[in-house]
Amino acid sequence: MKNLRIFTGTANPGLCEQITQRLDMQSGSLTIRNFADQEIFVQVKESVRGKDIFVIQPTCNPGHYHLLELLIIIDALKRASADRITAVIPYFGYARQDRKDQPRVAITSKLIANLLTVAGASRILAMDLHAAQIMGFFDIPVDHLSAVTVFVDHIRKVCPKDTVIVSPDTGGVVRARQVAQALNANLAIIDKRRPGHNKAEVMNVIGEVEGHDLVIIDDMIDTAGTLCEASKALIAKGASSVIACATHGVLSGEAYDNINASPLKKVIITDTIPSDRKRSDKIEVLSVAPLFAAAIEKIHKGESVGELFRE
Question: Coil, strand, or helix at residue 124?
Answer: strand
Question: Coil, strand, or helix at residue 27?
Answer: coil
Cβ neighbours, 10 Å, residue 98: 18
Name the DSSP class of 29: P
Intervals of the chain under pLDDT 70: 192-203, 310-311
The pairing of strands 4-8 and 164-167 is unpaired
Give the pLDDT of residue 200. 57
Spatial distance between the Cα atoms of 226 and 159, rounded to a whole number of angstroms: 23
Cβ neighbours, 10 Å, residue 160: 12
Q: Pick the catalytic residue: 51, 157, 192, 237?
A: 192
- Residue 112 main-chain phi, psi, to 5 deg: -65, -40
Domains plus CATH for the chain? 4-146+290-309 (3.40.50.2020), 148-286 (3.40.50.2020)
Record the pTM: 0.93
Spatial distance between the Cα atoms of 246 and 27, rounded to a whole number of angstroms: 28
Instruction: Calculate ∠ Cα 230-233-234, nearest 5°.
Output: 85
Spatial distance between the Cα atoms of 191 and 201, rounded to a whole number of angstroms: 9
Q: For 226-276, write each residue's pLDDT tens digit.
A: 899 899 999 999 999 999 999 999 999 999 999 999 999 999 999 999 988
Report the side by side order of strands in the sheet with 199-206: 199-206, 187-196, 164-167, 213-221, 241-249, 266-270, 283-286
110 annotated active-site: no
Question: Coil, strand, or helix at residue 308?
Answer: helix
Give the pLDDT of residue 197. 59
Name the DSSP class of 132: G
How many CA atoms are closer than 13 Å to the CA of 93, on its beta-carbon side?
Answer: 19
